[in-house]
Chain A
Amino acid sequence: MDDRTDHPLEESVPAAGTTAGPQIGKDEWVARISERRTGRGGWLGKVDERARAVPWWAWLTLFVALAAMLPVGFESGYVRRIAFDTVVFMLLALGLNVVVGWGGLLDLGYVAFFGVGAYTYAVVSSEKFDLHVSALVSIPLALVVGGIVGLLVGLPSRRLVGDYLAIVTLFFFQIFLTVTNNGESIFGKDLTGGPNGIINVDPLNVFGRELPVSRDGIFNVAYLYVALALFIVVYVALRFANDSRTGRAWRSLREDPLAAELMGMPVQWLKLTAFAFGAAVAGLTGALVTGLNTSVFPQTFEFPLLITIYTMVILGGAGSQAGVVIGAIAISVVLEVLREPGDARYLFYAVAILSIFAALRISRRLAAVVGGTLVLGFVAHAVAESIDASWTAGAPNGGGRVAGWASDWVIVPADLAGWLGPVAYITLIVLILALTLLHGWYRLALLVPTLYLAAFVWENVMITKPEPTRFVILGAILVAVMIARPEGILGEKRVEIV
């Protein structure tokens, strides 16, 4: 699943026997772009290079085959349901990628299009208006309605430049929320059920046969296959769209709208189509989700969902389809793991240890930091215990083997003083920000207390509140990725034009 099938790396490396140098009819600067883009060294660079040599459809087949095998290995309805949700996020991320990654437009109303699709499906296949349309009609209908609403919302942007588009989409998001929340009496008619939403929606039905949402009391795995099938269709369709004239035009629009306009491209129309494509994918996904949930509520389509999808796209790499799929999987799994304190603890220590290793490699500095942190922890723990035994008497939240070990090292008071949590949290953020400013040995010296404080905050503050913790982490990822690696995991590095 690579974005550059026509990867020009082979061209830029001269074949054996020929001499490297200026070649007639070839733009050196353009030819070297690929080197600049994938300029990663070491074994990671080699893996990257090899992976990019495999055509995208091979990756897609491999991935879908693996995903389809998942129910064989996992009997539990819970895991299968999470897999379904992940595919839904992948679809949403693919749609947002069209707008943000290819079009370079900031769409803050994306979740509303998802909601439009969901409500469309619910209206045409529920008791509410006594309509029971086949899924073969209602899913395409949701797609079309989503796309049309996307066009309509995009229309004002014809006259608006730059950031105003983001504002209009945000207004649209608010309007959508107002309408759905108060839709139980629009001119006296009940359209959306208001805050109570629409319930008793039909599950998906194909060729006259209804797909039950659960079988033997657990999640019906057929839905996972429906979702995967839609995923393949959307992935391939968008892939072709991106390789078409329109796709190239989108990217030129992203790189430099003014230049694109001067080259005679219909900039406004391109913006509208990018918008409509994204909105259509979101609408389709909305119908799929509603078919499984058999209900729809306005509370589902709130701001946190928007940020979640944005984080997936940005982390994976805006502009790369494979990237946003990977981003969606990573974020979806992380969010799920964070729900359970015991699992979340594993994740925290694993990420902490791995990132220290990645940052310092195997070196004396690594030994100094790890040793220093461990010693600091045991000393702090012993001192705290000798002053007041209750300071270390707290039981770590959630289970797991690491919990016992952590409680010998991290101070977990029996009852945390109200002021201590916020103070420790704010100090931690200040320390982390300070770390980015320092260099050399100062940075290493500060890293030791920061790591210990991070463990303290994790065990005492964050692990007990999974909900805000998940979103704090999303926000932090968004900022950190934007600053440290704006192209995300797999995205294209922008070619700087001087």
Chain B
Amino acid sequence: MLGSVRLDTFIQLTLNGLTLGSVYALIALGYTLVYGILKLLNFAHGDVFMVGSFIGFGALQALGGSATPKVPVWLLLVLIVLAAMVGCALLGVAIERFAYRPLRNAPRIAPLISALGVSFFLAYSVQLMFGSEQRDYDAFSISAGALFFNGFDIGNVRIPLLRIIIIVSAFVLMIALWLMVTRTRIGKAMRATSHDREAAAMMGIDVDRVIVFAFVLGSALAGAAGVMFALRAPTSATIGFIAGLKGFTAAVIGGIGSIPGAMAGGLILGFAEAYTQGYISTRWSDLLVFSLLILFMLFRPQGLFGSPELKKV
């Protein structure tokens, strides 16, 4: 009896970890794509994620709200994710063009400070326009709770449809990104630029275009992650900071700059958080996770999938 309860808790926590982890992985991919090419920690990325959740909210309201949507449910979900992805991609391009490109040859610390400024500007611009109160997608009202009650069971644990949608679509996006980076021309250009920017430019690769493309991809993924996050928990103008922190933590665990690393790092962070919350303490889970990370970074700063950085003189 007790054993089965334990097993149920474990399944539940694993499910939580998987859902959290796939959202973290999507955010981490944005950090990793940009870092791989520009060697820049894009602190504003978490706020792009937050803006994505707000665009999704706006699109949801424009389509009639969650209780009385004007379109079928599947189309509704696809449309709000698409709106957030497109909106965030545009935002990402604008950030790159106006806040980072002028500083490309500046000292290392300059774009980082600019990124802090952008992050702050975005968070408080949203607060200025829409207030600081929480926005709830109210996904429960979508076809009267069907997304929560339907699903399948593992043991005594019900896996709700919404979670399945989130996990599956996150993985679809990640696989699509992976294919794009490994199989297409622009993906090849991205890998080349990430390997050696100057040499890539000499080989005739339009480095500016590659950089913009990295921002488009990363920001679109963050937008999708924003909607996925906000379908489960209410969003507000200040979630970007913590989400960004978790995202780049995931990217660092996996080895920043490495795409499979970001996916693995996101999942590891999601599981670590879910299990510490479930088995140890909700209150200290952040402390444990961050302390572990500092230790991790001490002994393997290049992450799981990264290779140690060689310095050239």
**Chain A contact residues, CB within 8 Å of chain B:** 100, 104-106, 156, 159-164, 166-168, 170-172, 174-175, 178-179, 182, 258, 303-304, 307, 310-311, 314, 421-422, 425-426, 429, 433, 436, 461-462, 465, 467-469, 471-472, 474-479, 482-483, 486, 494
* One of B103, B128, B293, B311 near A461 (C-beta < 8 A): B128
Q: Is the CB of A156 within 8 A of B290?
A: no
Given A167-B41, A479-B99, 6 other A-B contacts at CB below 8 A?
A160-B298, A167-B249, A178-B290, A307-B116, A429-B125, A486-B103
Quick check: is B6 within 8 A (CB to CB) of the other chain? no
* One of B41, B125, B252, B313 near A472 (C-beta < 8 A): B125
Interface members, chain B 255-308 (any A CB < 8 Å): 283-284, 286-287, 290-291, 293-294, 297-298, 301
Chain B residues positioned under 8 Å from A166 (CB to CB): 41, 112
Chain B residues positioned under 8 Å from A258 (CB to CB): 311, 313
Chain A residues positioned under 8 Å from B116 (CB to CB): 307, 310, 478
Q: Is the CB of B112 within 8 A of A164?
A: no
Q: How far is the CB of A116 from chain B (nearest CB, A)?
A: 16
CA distance A248 to B29 in the complex (A): 40
Q: How far is the CB of B282 from chain A (nearest CB, A)?
A: 10
Q: How far is the CB of B223 from chain A (nearest CB, A)?
A: 16
Q: Is the CB of A477 within 8 A of B117?
A: yes
Quick check: is B109 within 8 A (CB to CB) of the other chain? yes
Chain A residues positioned under 8 Å from B252 (CB to CB): 164, 167
Q: Is the CB of A479 within 8 A of B290?
A: no
Q: Is the CB of A468 within 8 A of B127?
A: yes
From known contacts A106-B112, A433-B98, A486-B106, infer whether A161 and B120 are also in contact, taking CB-CB under 8 Å.
Answer: no
From known contacts A479-B117, A479-B118, infer whether A163 and B112 are also in contact, taking CB-CB under 8 Å.
Answer: yes
Q: Is the CB of B128 within 8 A of A159?
A: no
CA distance A100 to B103 in the complex (A): 17
Q: Is the CB of B112 within 8 A of A436?
A: no
Quick check: is B248 within 8 A (CB to CB) of the other chain? yes
Q: Is the CB of B121 within 8 A of A475?
A: yes
From known contacts A167-B252, A174-B286, infer whether A465 and B120 are also in contact, taking CB-CB under 8 Å.
Answer: no
Q: Is the CB of B291 within 8 A of A175?
A: yes
CA distance A479 to B123 in the complex (A): 14
CA distance A129 to B301 in the complex (A): 40
Main secondary structure on B side of the interface with A: helix
Q: Is the CB of B128 within 8 A of A483?
A: no
CA distance A475 to B125 in the complex (A): 10
Q: Is the CB of A159 within 8 A of B113?
A: no
Chain A residues positioned under 8 Å from B241 (CB to CB): 303
Interface size on B, as a range, is 35 or more
From known contacts A479-B118, A482-B110, infer whether A468 and B311 are also in contact, taking CB-CB under 8 Å.
Answer: no
Q: Is the CB of B297 within 8 A of A106?
A: no
Chain A residues positioned under 8 Å from B98 (CB to CB): 433, 436, 479
Quick check: is B119 within 8 A (CB to CB) of the other chain? yes
Q: Is the CB of A421 within 8 A of B109?
A: no
Interface members, chain B 194-237 (any A CB < 8 Å): none
From known contacts A425-B128, A433-B98, infer whether A478 and B298 are also in contact, taking CB-CB under 8 Å.
Answer: no
Q: Is the CB of A476 within 8 A of B109?
A: no
Q: Which of A164, A182, A482 has the most CB of B within 10 A?
A: A482
Q: How far is the CB of A327 from chain B (nearest CB, A)?
A: 13
Q: Is the CB of A462 within 8 A of B293?
A: no
Chain A residues positioned under 8 Å from B102 (CB to CB): 483
Q: Is the CB of A164 within 8 A of B297?
A: yes
Q: Is the CB of B103 within 8 A of A483?
A: yes
Chain A residues positioned under 8 Å from B283 (CB to CB): 182
Q: How far is the CB of A125 from chain B (nearest CB, A)?
A: 27
CA distance A390 to B168 in the complex (A): 51
Q: How far is the CB of B28 from chain A (nearest CB, A)?
A: 13
Q: Is the CB of A482 within 8 A of B113?
A: yes
Q: Is the CB of B118 within 8 A of A162?
A: no
Chain A residues positioned under 8 Å from B309 (CB to CB): 161
Q: Is the CB of B128 within 8 A of A479?
A: no
Q: Is the CB of B290 within 8 A of A474?
A: no
Closest 4 CB pairs of A and B: A478-B117, A475-B121, A475-B120, A479-B117
Chain B residues positioned under 8 Å from A163 (CB to CB): 41, 108, 112
Chain B residues positioned under 8 Å from A475 (CB to CB): 117-122, 124
6 A-B pairs, CB-CB below 8 angstroms? A175-B290, A425-B125, A475-B120, A475-B121, A476-B121, A486-B110
Chain A residues positioned under 8 Å from B294 (CB to CB): 156, 168, 171-172
CA distance A494 to B107 in the complex (A): 9
Chain B residue with the shortest CB-CB distance to A308: B120
Q: How far is the CB of A486 from chain B (nearest CB, A)?
A: 6
Q: How far is the CB of B139 from chain A (nearest CB, A)?
A: 23
0/1 string, B125-152, CB within 8 A of A gives 1? 1011110100000000000000000000
CA distance A171 to B248 in the complex (A): 11
Q: Is the CB of A478 within 8 A of B120?
A: yes
Q: How far is the CB of A105 from chain B (nearest CB, A)?
A: 8
Quick check: is B114 within 8 A (CB to CB) of the other chain? yes
Q: How far is the CB of B119 from chain A (nearest CB, A)?
A: 7
Chain A residues positioned under 8 Å from B121 (CB to CB): 472, 475-476, 478-479
CA distance A109 to B128 in the complex (A): 26
CA distance A311 to B113 in the complex (A): 9
Chain B residues positioned under 8 Å from A104 (CB to CB): 107, 109
From known contacts A160-B297, A179-B287, A182-B284, infer whether A170 and B245 are also in contact, taking CB-CB under 8 Å.
Answer: yes
Q: How far is the CB of A462 from chain B (nearest CB, A)?
A: 7
Q: How far is the CB of B295 from chain A (nearest CB, A)?
A: 9
Chain A residues positioned under 8 Å from B293 (CB to CB): 171
Quick check: is B94 within 8 A (CB to CB) of the other chain? yes
Q: How far is the CB of B135 from chain A (nearest CB, A)?
A: 13
